[in-house]
């Protein structure tokens, strides 16, 4: 039976490193593990033996099953170099580390604020902000770092829009968030930026309560949330929405530059943008790994997961499962990539996904239309990758273009 230890493969550590020269493909070992057994024992860095899910259907099932908890204090960290043993519980306002019913309360309050009207308003803003940054790139001229010039500031300003940060406070906000994403920042600078940002958000909450404006944070002040909760949620939205979108824009552009026929298809057909964004999300799976803990014994895929076991879900492996996506390792913007798990699945599925989609649907086509000759300014292997981090991406993306082509 499933419980017989002899029938089980040896626990393996989580394969994590993308191969040099293959910055878009999950570690090759994941494909082998998925083929052998899509749910199998895994050894965590702290010695705990739990599980690793790599198949699309089993990853999806785990994410949708309330018998698996997201509470940080029940989880073990799956990536090497992280904290050992159980994690500290979620800070106030962090939705990803809590379960129902606490989670449900926050989730309902927040979901009600990501309205169609708000998204439409934000679409107009992202179009303007994108155009402004492309103008600035053109004025600056080649070559430049696309992360600094475009991929980071556009989503940073969109979070400011969402939270209603006033134009006069934006520079400070952006300086702190840029520091948080900077590969050169030391631990002390990171800590200082985090503290400063939390302070900015707290002041913002107080200001919005006194003088509400037309933004999500002001909307939330009319709920029964306390200032502490609002400040926590504001900081969490910043953390959840910035690095993710910025790295999708950075790594996504890198992937399009390495697949010029796909970039050309996007440039030639603006109607392709919606589909293209889903395929880039699937193909890149930047939020590559999730973690849950079994609250009770669960039988799944012929295995018995015991209460207390940690289960790591490999989103990047699931999104390359050939049983779900034929020819999964090919970037094909014409593919229907619906059903990918790159925004998560189940109760914790990304709350900001409509905003993230709007940003990407606007930004990718606009960038490639404005700079038809956009290309890497360094050999691809010299692009510094974010590896062994929660969110995959690029630290910098040096690009260049022919100035005669833009106008």
Applying CB under 6 A, which residues contact ligand HEM?
70, 95-96, 107, 159, 162, 237, 240-241, 244-245, 248, 286-287, 290, 342-344, 348, 350-352, 355-356
Q: CB nearer to ligand HEM: give 58 or 287.
A: 287
What contacts 117, CB < 8 A, 6 or more positions away?
none
Minimum CB separation of residue 304 from ligand HEM in Å reads 24
Query: Beta partners for 68?
Result: 294
For 394, the enclosing helix (H) or strand (E) is: strand 393-394
Q: CB nearer to ligand HEM: give 142 or 337.
A: 337
d(CA 53, CA 317): 9
Q: CB nearer to ligand HEM: give 11 or 82.
A: 82
- DSSP per-residue codes, 132-163: HHHHHHHHH-SSEEHIIIIITHHHHHHHHHHH
Pairing of strands 298-300, 375-376: unpaired
Minimum CB separation of residue 4 from ligand HEM in Å reads 32
Minimum CB separation of residue 167 from ligand HEM in Å reads 19
Minimum CB separation of residue 20 from ligand HEM in Å reads 24
Nearest-CB residue for ligand HEM: 352
Query: Beta partners for 304?
Result: 299
Q: What are the Cα distances from residue 249, in Å, to 131, 180, 261, 384?
A: 15, 17, 18, 15
Minimum CB separation of residue 176 from ligand HEM in Å reads 17
Q: Which two tokens stand for residue 178?
A: 């840029």
Count CA within 13 A, CB hemisphere, residue 164: 20
Minimum CB separation of residue 33 from ligand HEM in Å reads 21
Bond prior to 263 in cis (omega within 30° of 0): no
Q: CB nearer to ligand HEM: give 30 or 154.
A: 154
Minimum CB separation of residue 112 from ligand HEM in Å reads 13
Q: Which residue has the tokens 């926590």?
A: 232
Count CA within 13 A, CB hemisphere, residue 231: 17
For 357, the enclosing helix (H) or strand (E) is: helix 353-370
Q: CB nearer to ligand HEM: give 26 or 290.
A: 290
Minimum CB separation of residue 249 from ligand HEM in Å reads 8
Q: CB nearer to ligand HEM: give 207 or 342.
A: 342
Q: CB nearer to ligand HEM: give 137 or 315.
A: 315
d(CA 121, CA 115): 10
What's the maximum distance between 2 C-alpha atoms anywhere in the chain? 68
Q: CB nearer to ligand HEM: give 67 or 107.
A: 107
């Amino acid at each position: 039976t499933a419980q017989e230890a002899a029938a089980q493969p040896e626990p393996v550590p989580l394969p994590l490193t993308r191969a040099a020269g293959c910055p878009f493909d999950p570690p090759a070992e994941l494909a082998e593990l998925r083929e052998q057994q899509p749910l199998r024992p895994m050894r965590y860095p702290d010695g705990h033996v739990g599980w690793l899910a790599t198949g699309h259907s089993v990853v999806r099932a785990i994410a949708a099953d309330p018998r698996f908890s997201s509470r940080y204090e029940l989880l073990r960290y799956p990536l090497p170099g992280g904290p050992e043993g159980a994690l500290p519980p979620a800070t106030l306002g962090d939705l990803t580390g809590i379960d129902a019913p606490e989670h449900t309360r926050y989730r309902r309050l927040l979901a009600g604020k990501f309205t169609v009207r708000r998204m439409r308003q934000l679409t107009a803003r992202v179009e303007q902000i994108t155009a402004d940054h492309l103008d600035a790139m053109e004025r600056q001229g080649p070559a430049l770092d696309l992360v600094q010039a475009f991929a980071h500031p556009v989503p940073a300003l969109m979070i400011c829009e969402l939270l209603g940060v006033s134009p006069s406070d934006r520079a400070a906000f952006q300086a702190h968030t840029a520091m948080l994403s900077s590969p050169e920042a030391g631990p002390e600078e990171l800590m200082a930026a985090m503290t400063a940002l939390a302070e900015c958000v707290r002041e913002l909450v107080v200001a919005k309560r006194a003088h509400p404006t037309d933004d999500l944070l002001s909307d939330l002040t009319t709920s029964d949330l306390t200032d502490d909760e609002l400040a926590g949620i504001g900081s969490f939205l910043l953390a959840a929405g910035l690095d993710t979108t910025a790295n999708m824009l950075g790594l996504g552009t890198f992937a399009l530059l390495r697949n010029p026929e796909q970039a050309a298809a996007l440039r030639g057909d603006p109607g392709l943008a919606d589909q293209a964004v889903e395929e880039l999300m699937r193909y890149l799976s930047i939020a590559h790994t999730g973690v849950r803990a079994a609250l009770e014994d669960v039988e799944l895929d012929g295995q018995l997961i015991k209460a207390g076991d940690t289960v790591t879900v490999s989103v990047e492996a699931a999104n390359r499962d050939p049983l779900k996506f034929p020819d999964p390792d090919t970037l094909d913007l014409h593919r229907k990539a619906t059903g990918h798990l790159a925004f998560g699945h189940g109760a914790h599925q990304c709350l900001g996904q409509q905003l993230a989609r709007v940003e990407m649907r606007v930004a990718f086509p606009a960038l490639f239309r404005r700079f038809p000759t956009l290309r890497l300014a360094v050999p691809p292997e010299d692009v510094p990758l974010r590896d062994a981090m929660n969110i995959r991406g690029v630290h910098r993306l040096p690009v260049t273009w022919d100035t005669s082509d833009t106008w």
